[in-house]
Amino acid sequence: MPRATARTLAIALAATCVAAAAADYARLPGGEFASVLPQGATPGSSAVARIAPFELRTTPVTRAEFRAFLVLHPDWRRAQAPGVFADAAYLADGPAADDPPGAGDARPVTEVSWFAAQAFCESEGGRLPTWLEWESAAAADATRADARADPAWRQRILSWYAQPAAATPADVGGAPDVHGVRDLHGLVWEWVDDFNALFVAGDSRTQGDPDTLRFCGAGAISLADRDNYAVLMRVALLSSLQARDTLRSLGFRCARPLPGDPR
Amino acid sequence: MRLRLQSLRGTLHRASAFIGLAALAALAAPALAANAPGDFGPPQGEPIHATLTSPPFVPPPIHRSFPAKVIVDLEVVEKQMQISEGVNYTFWTFGGTVPGSFIRVRQGDTVEFHLKNDPANKMAHNIDLHGVTGPGGGAASSFTAPGHESKFTFKALNEGIYVYHCATAPVGMHIANGMYGLILVEPPQGMPKVDHEYYVMQGDFYTGGKYREKGDQPFDMEKAIDERPTYVLFNGAEGALTGDKALKAKVGETVRLFVGNGGPNLVSSFHVIGAIFDEVRFEGGTNIQKNVQTTLIPAGGAAIAKFRTRVPGSYVMVDHSIFRAFNKGALAILKVEGQEDKTIYSGKELDSVYLGDRARPNLDAVAKATESARQGTLSLQDQVKAGEALFTGTCSVCHQANGAGLAGVFPPLAKSDYLAADVKRAITIPLRGLTGKITVNGTPYDSVMPPMSQLNDDEVANILTYVLNSWSNPGGRVSADEVKQARAQGAPAATASGH
């Protein structure tokens, strides 16, 4: 083994250990959940979804964590990532593998494509959460697993929407919710595994058009609960994306099955 | 035969749409039969970049004699601006303003539309142009994530003024945050020349706080669903078109207003106080309505209003659902400067006191007299004071406050020989009126005084007592009983018995 490669590997392994140590997951109980998206057997019909227990990263992936990932996976560095997996703005503001540790390390990494996010999660034995997992986790507040009926919960989401995007997001580590998960609202948008199955039409008013339903049963969206619009805006954002796209305000966190769960 | 006739009629109908397009006729003729009305054939010449303007300005007229490919670049910007003095609101905009940039193309143009979503934005957006023929008006083809750009192309088949707006979920919220504007599709021959063209667009806004509550105000979905706006505004902010920012014109100029209504909820009763629209293309359609005071502009609709300024002054534009104007901000000003024309408008010519019948302050004396009469302590002074108050409200309009009347029209009560000659006769005049020729103090009168049947016996007595004791009249007193008797006698109405 050439020395240079060995050294890189050593650094990479060290970095991986750091990353692994930093990755903190919380246990989410799952269970029955009423999504804003119709979950019925027939398109457009509502039904309660059943979510298996899972683990979710307590914070979005940080720039420091993603830098460590780039050290180990040079294919995902800005210069190397193939265009089909990441658009031109991919990691345009860093981090790069050879950046020294410094200010901004605790900020959530943004400008990552769905492919890159998925690769990161796989590298630590996880995956991106599904929309239902993400939505059910995000329904919590500090004391309740489902606080969505509380106007204060909705107002907290909306207050973030009401601010124009900051030049750079704040550091991760907001107040924990009842599950110990942080920053689901008010910091960045987050990729989900099935982002492209949420909402099929760019023109939201055509939801329920049989033509579109033929392609995607989950696509029909109806505002049965008028308070859902706060979450709907997240769906609208995600559904405007393609998997190679990156945004300054879009990061991700990973999920994984419970230990011992064969899934 | 019948088929042939119908087809001929169809051809004629299509052809009629092109009257006035002599220059184009030769060019377009081969395509006529195949194309939809308004399709003048393929674009010619080099592509043109459309000039976009921020409100209240309108891009210059097009003056082009052929259909072209027109490239429109419109950027979506999310930014905080003032909705009212000291009140911040996060607007979502087409081009950085509310309403969005004004787009002007020519009928028959092929429009290549580029919708750009600023990388700093948080939301995905799209655009539905009502001037587009096609599903969604372009919405599905323009769904754009932040940091991305979408392109779609449409042919401007129909001329007119059209609203555009964002149609991303939740649609109402995108519109309520200011995502609308106007696109003008000029007829091929252009529009008649005017001195000024302005761009005004109404919208309703829903903030968490009350009207003019300072600080950062979030969007309030609850109010929006209930259609209870906090603000109703022209051009996205209170004061956007007042003071230094008022629209301007000179006397004798023609003004064309492109007036849109973005909604999301309210219909506008658009009115300019002190002006009459000479012409309105109501609903933005082709028909022209003339001499319009107030034109209705539906949410998601627009109109073109034209008028000539006649006299100088500040003309206030309002939504004539008037609480919106004075309590929610729907006010704009058109300032017209120049020479006055007194033959059209004089300005104020008269400022005189007008007291409504029994104006409130007078009632005290009347109430006191009534009370004294009830207790049997009514004094001459009480009667005179009450009578004066009642006279001021009822009689002074004709007989004048000083009792002098108006020579030849209303007989005088001051130093009146007619009154002094017969007080009993005088009692019957307020009860039954007086019609016909009489002579008072040597001057003939021939008019009609109706019966003052609204006055009760006390009141008539007090008025007459006041009159008898004023303006060098002989004095004396009339009691309510005397009035009651006169009323009961049903004596013939005082007539012009001469004197």
> Is there a domain that residue A76 lies in?
yes
Q: Is the pLDDT of residue A86 over 80?
A: yes
Helix-helix angle B457-468:B423-432, to 10 degrees: 130
CB contact under 8 A, A158 and B170: no
Q: Is the pLDDT of residue B149 over 90?
A: yes
Q: In chain B, which residues have their Cβ closer than 8 Å to the Cβ of A229? A: 169-170, 173, 221
Better pLDDT: B294 or B37: B294
**Which one of A199, A205, A246 has the shortest CB-CB distance to B171?**
A205
CB contact under 8 A, B136 and A206: yes
Asked if A263 has any chain B CB less than 8 Å from its own CB, the reply is no
Q: How far is the C-alpha of B72 from the C-alpha of B476, rounded, in Å?
A: 90
Residues A145-166, mean pLDDT to the nearest whole number: 82
- What pLDDT does B2 receive? 43
Q: What is the pLDDT of residues B378-400, one digit of tens each?
A: 888 889 988 888 888 778 878 88
- What pLDDT does B357 receive? 47
Q: In chain A, which residues have their Cβ closer than 8 Å to the Cβ of B264? A: none
Asked if B146 has any chain A CB less than 8 Å from its own CB, the reply is yes
- Which one-letter DSSP state was computed for residue A219? G
Asked if B149 has any chain A CB less than 8 Å from its own CB, the reply is no
- What pLDDT does A2 receive? 46
Query: Nearest residue of A to residue B80 by CA position?
Result: A164
Task: Please tell me the distance in Å from A13's CA to the nearest CA on chain B.
Answer: 35
Q: What is the pLDDT of residues B190-207, one digit of tens each?
A: 999 999 999 999 999 999
Q: Is the pLDDT of residue B354 over 60?
A: no
- What pLDDT does B36 receive? 56
- What pLDDT does A204 receive? 54
Residue B93 makes CB contacts below 8 A (sequence gap 6+) with B76, B77, B78, B79, B100, B178, B179
Closest CA to B289 of B272, B302, B306: B306
At B171, is the pLDDT very low, low, confident or very high (cuts 50, 70, 90)?
confident
> Is there a domain that residue A263 lies in?
no
Q: How far is the C-alpha of B133 from the C-alpha of B412, rounded, in Å?
A: 77
Task: Please tell me the distance in Å from B161's CA to the nearest CA on chain A.
Answer: 22
**Which one of A229, A235, A239 has the shortest CB-CB distance to B221?**
A229
Better pLDDT: A112 or B12: A112
Q: Is the pLDDT of residue B7 over 50?
A: no
Give the ipTM of the model, two decimals please: 0.71
Strand-pair category, B103-106 with B180-186:
parallel
Residue B273 makes CB contacts below 8 A (sequence gap 6+) with B315, B316, B317, B318
Q: Is the pLDDT of residue B342 over 50?
A: yes
**Is the CB of residue B82 less than 8 Å from the CB of residue B240?**
no
Q: Is the pLDDT of residue A7 over 80?
A: no
At B318, is the pLDDT very low, low, confident or very high (cuts 50, 70, 90)?
very high
Q: What is the pLDDT of residues B46-103, one digit of tens each?
A: 999 999 999 999 999 999 999 999 999 999 999 999 999 899 999 999 999 999 999 9
- What pLDDT does A154 receive? 83
Tokens of B280: 């309105």
Which of B82, B150, B168 would best serve as a mutation to test chain A binding (most A beta carbons within 10 A)? B168
> Is there a domain that residue A182 lies in?
yes
CB contact under 8 A, A221 and B147: no
CB contact under 8 A, A248 and B119: yes
At A151, is the pLDDT very low, low, confident or very high (cuts 50, 70, 90)?
confident
CB contact under 8 A, A204 and B168: yes
Residue with tokens 């489902």: A146
- What pLDDT does A157 receive? 83
Q: Where are the beta strands (DSSP E) in B166-312?
A: 180-186, 196-205, 215-216, 231-234, 247-250, 254-263, 268-273, 277-281, 289-292, 294-297, 301-308
| Alpha-carbon torsion, ordered A143, A146, A151, A155, to 10 deg | 80
Q: Is the pLDDT of residue A222 over 60?
A: no
Better pLDDT: B154 or A5: B154
Residue B189 makes CB contacts below 8 A (sequence gap 6+) with B20, B21
CATH number at residue A16: 3.90.1580
Task: Please tell me the distance in Å from A94's CA to the nearest CA on chain B.
Answer: 16
> Is there a domain that residue A46 lies in?
yes
CB contact under 8 A, A233 and B225: no
- What pLDDT does A130 receive? 95
> Is there a domain that residue A19 lies in?
yes
Could you list the residue range(s) of the whole structural domain that residue A235 is in? 3-257
> Is there a domain that residue A262 lies in?
no
Q: What is the pLDDT of residues B227-258, one digit of tens each?
A: 999 999 999 999 999 888 999 999 999 999 99
**Is the CB of residue A221 less than 8 Å from the CB of residue A200?**
no
Buried b vs exposed e over A57-81: b needs ≥16 C-beta within 10 Å?
bbbbbbbbbbbbbbbbbeebbbeeb
Number of domains in chain A: 1
The residue type found at A125 is G
> Is there a domain that residue A190 lies in?
yes
**Is the CB of residue B300 less than 8 Å from the CB of residue B263?**
yes
